[in-house]
Amino acid sequence: MAAMRTQRGVAPDGLTGAPPRAARRRAAILGAVAVLAAAGVLAGVLASSGSGVAPATAASARITTGGLAAVKSAMIAKLRAGRVHFSWVVCVRNGERFHGVAVVRCNVEFGDPHVQAYCSVFRGGRLVTSAEDPAIPCRPDDAGFTTIIQTSP
C-alpha cells in the first residue's frame, strides 16, 4: 500500500500555492525596470525644464552687460554649479558687441594647461555664454605676450 506523503505547505499535486521562483524574480525585475523608467522620465523632464523656473519673458530677457567683477563672479558661480573643476578665471572686455551691448570674454583655466574662452552677456539677469548661444561673438584673441624664437644659422 503506497501511502501518499505530503510535505508541509505542499499540495498533493506538488504545487506550493505560491508562484514559482522564476515568476517572482521576473516580477521583481519588471518592477525595478518600471521604477527606473519612471525615474528616467522624471530626470529628463527636469533636465529639459532648466532650473524649474518659467522661461524669461521678452521684457525680462533684456540683454545687458555687467562690470568685469560681476561677470567673473557669475562665471565662477556657473562653473561651480556645474561642479566643474577649474584653476582660475580672468575676464576682459574684448571689443565685441552683441545686440548693442559689450561682450565680456572670460578665460577659464581647466588645467594641464587648457584655457577655454567664454564670451558672455547677461540675458534677463542670467549669464549666457557663447557656448550656450553661438550667436554671441567670440573670435580668437591673440592678446598677450609673444615668444620670440631665436634659431642659430
Transcribe 49-68 into DSSP letters. TTTSSPPPPTTTT-EE---H
Q: How confident is the model at residue 77 (pLDDT cuts 50, 70, 90)?
A: very high
For residues 31 and 99, the answer to whether their CB atoms sit within 8 Å is: no
**Is pLDDT at 55 greater than 70 in this prediction?**
no
Predicted pLDDT at 61: 82
At residue 111 the predicted structure's pLDDT band, cuts being 50, 70 and 90, is confident
Residue where the block lists cell 523656473: 53
**Other CB atoms within 10 Å distance of the CB of residue 80:** 11
**What's the average model confidence in pLDDT over 13-36?**
62
Helical ranges in 8-127 per DSSP H: 21-48, 68-81
pLDDT for 143 equals: 58
Measured CA to CA, the distance from residue 131 to residue 62 in angstroms comes to 19
What's the distance, Cα to Cα, between the start and end of the chain in Å?
114
Task: Give the predicted TM-score (pTM) of the model.
Answer: 0.54
Q: Quote the pLDDT of residue 89.
A: 93
- Per-residue pLDDT for 62 more than 80? yes
Position 50 scores a pLDDT of 42
